[in-house]
Structure 1
């Protein structure tokens, strides 16, 4: 991922917006909150009393899988560069995390807002949750926390990072949920007997997604990117570097419109200072791993770049739109076969479109730019995996093997903060003997894993699997049994 500022990836459980006490066939529960660990409740009216509802097991398992992937690539990606973010074009395991969260946020929005008794109340809830996500995003990913290795805290407001994973999720959630709420009066209760009726019934959601796509594509390929410069502060001295551009439609690291928009919107000092493009062959001989910069490395190799910036987040709205479509299918199609046919067909189409765009070099798959081919490829992959989970868990009833993922998915905000952001490890590291490096976390990693396997790479991987993923899975399971969840 992108160090402690990274996570890719929807968050924050909380009270569910009201919905009728009805059960969809084949569904293991009713609506979810749009964040990654919502609870469900029934609609409160004079006729219907609040009812505690079961959760949708497939949603929790998919969300839990995404959290597991996030921790794995975040903390083991340094040892295994092939699973870390692609330095530029291409797609690795880490590059699926962010769009998977946005996909599941979209699915959850459709279920959570299936019934809206009062539009103004729903809008207030969406605005409040958006503000909470923005607050936690800036606090955790803006640079205030230096955990787990650096025990200091605080951030220089001159260089605070305004963008991040939670901020992107907040934007996508806000736009997609707002469209869903404002179109509630024209929402169909039943669909026409047409293959495309599910699309026409929710045309405003698709028009919103198309508007985001249009803004992104026009800006990316028509915006003029001039020459630019930046100042790098190293070893108590400052040096200015210049990048020559003067072009439009460039999709490389140096002169793309995505970076230009962020430099203008936020200021270059507030962008992510350690972008993954530093692992490109043009920047280091250690590529695809991290390493010292080449002496002849172009100046942009040292420049900051925001992977969760403004223009790329507008493109990310399409990921949420595709997710909410999958949720609409879950609501309106009653049979398992109907749902799966629609989901899988759409996923295959998205994958084919993405591969054609990528291998013809028309629009390469690129997570940093959040290109359209990347949206299609990751959404298609999410659709396939979601469908597979639905078959295994909801159709075949194989829930027990996936309880581990469900537990993590139900307390994903907790696992994100404590594990992915290193808050728990930072707390443990705060208790050390003589030297801050002489702490329990480092001792366990070195003596229990690295020394036993005589390999730092294998030891790192096993540490992440057992001391982080399995550990937090067990903790999440215990908290679930106690009915304790972190809610936003």
Structure 2
């Protein structure tokens, strides 16, 4: 019997997209509450949970989406071709967001969030279709251990001993060597938080989700034991990540092995809670907004970036006398004057953006319009 659709997974994805929308769209980037900012380097804030939660959800989804191909013994070639096509489209959309609106191919950033999602999606799909869950668990451990060894033991050419600094670590050197500086993260042009070497531990985040999805699909354990198993695994992963962080710090930009375990453990715990509430107990009240965001997640991410840059092209006179983009102009005249604390005003701007997207996505959901790649 085919498993029913996981409402909990759609809610999990939707909550993650909602948090992403808030942290990516403050009214004023200069006034943000600390939990809504990334950790400066080492450490983890709620904002640093968004991306690993996405990759974890990708893994869980694959355990359901590709289960039929494994169960029915379908030839791998056409299945892998579909997977490769989807990964290529995701990667291309990521590059397109970097190119827009100026389309400067000489300095376009090659890597990015959608690009990493595409690589993890493809890698985890291939692993799922060709290996058992035991092998997947073994690969997860191997990827984490290998990445830690590479980052902490291998000398950096032209720099010296292994280190974990932003511009001089092994991953930054590899990105500058293979991608070249003009095609790295525009803020630095010397390293990239979604660089090549960091894809290895990012695959482990996807594999954690893959194993969680396999556990939820397993017909053996009683239904109630499934969220319990996820929760226990989550606690173990969080503890392991915190212990490992004493030697290999929790760091999103480097996607360190301790970061994978810590954030993956939190994702396991949240999925366990949502699965028990939504799928075991059948609770549906109040999850509508999360479902609206969850079923059109890629659309929100892609079009948020495109619209934000489009609004930036529409210049209007700002309060300081200089021209500002349409979004900044609306914030300066329509939101900021109503708040004494600029951080509250900035948060209000993000909430307004969230509500606008909720309206759009609810409209699309009612008509059954879902943008899939």
What is the TM-score with the length of structure 1 in the denominator? 0.70
8 Å Cα contact 1:109/1:324 also seen in 2: yes
1:274 paired to 2:187: yes
Cα deviation, 1:218-244, whole Å, max 9, x if unaligned, reads 3212322144xxxxxxxxxxxxxxxxx
Written as runs of structure 1 = structure 2, the 5 A alignment for 1:57-456 is: 57-76=7-26, 78-80=30-32, 82=34, 83-116=36-69, 117=72, 118=74, 119-140=76-97, 142=98, 144-145=99-100, 153-183=101-131, 202-227=133-158, 245-248=159-162, 250-275=163-188, 304-333=190-219, 335-358=222-245, 361-419=246-304, 421=305, 423-427=306-310, 437=323, 441-456=327-342
- SS of the residue corresponding to residue 22 of structure 2 reads helix
Larger radius of gyration: 1
C-alpha RMSD over aligned residues: 2.2
- SS of the residue corresponding to residue 311 of structure 1 reads coil
- SS of the residue corresponding to residue 234 of structure 2 reads helix
The verdict on how the C-alpha distance between 1:434 and 1:258 changes in structure 2, with shifts beyond 3 A counting, is: closer
8 Å Cα contact 1:405/1:473 also seen in 2: no
Offset of 1:71 from its aligned partner?
A: 1.7
Offset of 1:460 from its aligned partner?
A: 1.7
Greater fraction of residues in helix: 2
CA separation in 2, counterparts of 1:135 and 1:433? 32
- SS of the residue corresponding to residue 12 of structure 2 reads helix
Offset of 1:78 from its aligned partner?
A: 4.4
The verdict on how the C-alpha distance between 1:374 and 1:431 changes in structure 2, with shifts beyond 3 A counting, is: closer
Cα deviation, 1:6-60, whole Å, max 9, x if unaligned, reads xxxxxxxxxxxxxxxx343xxxx33xxxxxxxxxxxxxxxxxxxxxxxxx21111
8 Å Cα contact 1:122/1:181 also seen in 2: no
The verdict on how the C-alpha distance between 1:400 and 1:427 changes in structure 2, with shifts beyond 3 A counting, is: farther
1:469 paired to 2:354: yes
Report how many residues are paired.
362
Offset of 1:487 from its aligned partner?
A: 1.4
Offset of 1:254 from its aligned partner?
A: 4.0
The verdict on how the C-alpha distance between 1:357 and 1:208 changes in structure 2, with shifts beyond 3 A counting, is: closer
Cα deviation, 1:400-436, whole Å, max 9, x if unaligned, reads 21110111110111111222x1x23444566666899
Q: RCO greater where, 1 or 2, for CA within 8 Å and sep 6 or more?
A: 2
- Which residue of the other structure, out of 344, 354, 357, is the alignment partner of 1:458? 344
Offset of 1:441 from its aligned partner?
A: 3.4
CA separation in 1, counterparts of 2:248 and 2:326? 47
What is the TM-score with the length of structure 2 in the denominator? 0.90
The verdict on how the C-alpha distance between 1:139 and 1:338 changes in structure 2, with shifts beyond 3 A counting, is: same
- SS of the residue corresponding to residue 400 of structure 1 reads coil
